Amino acid sequence: MKRKLAAAILGIAASVGLATSAHAQGFVTFGNYNSSAPVNYGAGTGGPVGTGVNSSYTAGLWYFLGTTSLASAGGNASQLPAGWEAATVAAQFNVGQFAGPAGVGFFSGTGANSTATIADYTSGPITFSVISYDGSSFASANNRGNSAGFTLPSITTGNGAVGEFGPGLTSFSVLPVPEPSIFALSGLAGAALMLIRRKK
């Protein structure tokens, strides 16, 4: 009887532990306003190169549970690198408190988008990359880019004060997305070079 009671108590405790971890989530403030890391126009985007993007651009967020690296990339940035996840958060640049010339390149989420919720975070380091794109999505953008990955040792869970990205977030530029024909020509050129090398 005692063994059955002990087993039942352990089973309940394990169930509570699983339920807690299944519903764990982390939070981080979604904005680059305190990082002094604006997102800028790159060459070929139609905007003044080296100045901050305007309200036709949207910011989003990728994350990786743990520590990893990711290079900053422009128009040829991968849609979502392997092992990374996209947070369900977005914000326009150069609007609200950042509307006007002084706010180009900066974003601050408002309402539900003021905080990024990382649904599967429990504890430990997490790596982020801010993305920026024009149009309705990163995949269909004409111009886009992502920041270099930056790792935070931990983020807020529960009801604690929500922290910011900090100095790890650095400036990056959006660049035009290459035309599909450019990829096709690059592939043909590579194949031709391989054939020439084989003949030699």
Tell me the pLDDT tens digit for each residue of 179-198. Answer: 864 443 344 445 555 555 56
What are the domain boundaries of the chain?
24-193
Residue 181 has a pLDDT of 43
Confidence of residue 199 (pLDDT cuts 50, 70, 90): low
Mention every residue, 6+ apart, whose C-beta is less than 8 A from residue 168.
128, 150, 151, 152
Q: Which helix (H) or strand (E) holds 62?
A: strand 57-65
Distances in Å between the alpha carbon of 145 and those of 159, 171, 174? 33, 11, 5
Q: What is the pTM of this model?
A: 0.79
Terminal CA-to-CA distance of the chain, rounded, Å?
Answer: 82
What's the whole-number average pLDDT of the chain? 84
Confidence of residue 12 (pLDDT cuts 50, 70, 90): very low
- Reading the block at residue 120, the tokens are 């599967």
Q: How do residues 44-87 score in pLDDT, each as one tens digit?
A: 999 999 999 999 999 999 999 999 999 999 998 888 999 999 99
Confidence of residue 13 (pLDDT cuts 50, 70, 90): very low
Q: How do residues 124-168 score in pLDDT, each as one tens digit?
A: 999 999 999 999 999 999 999 999 999 999 999 988 889 999 999
Residue 70 has a pLDDT of 97
Residue 33 has a pLDDT of 87
> Once rounded to an integer, what is the mean pLDDT over residues 111-136?
95
Q: Report the range of poorest mean pLDDT among 5-14, 89-98, 155-164.
A: 5-14
- Residue whose structure tokens are 């990163």: 138
Residue 179 has a pLDDT of 82
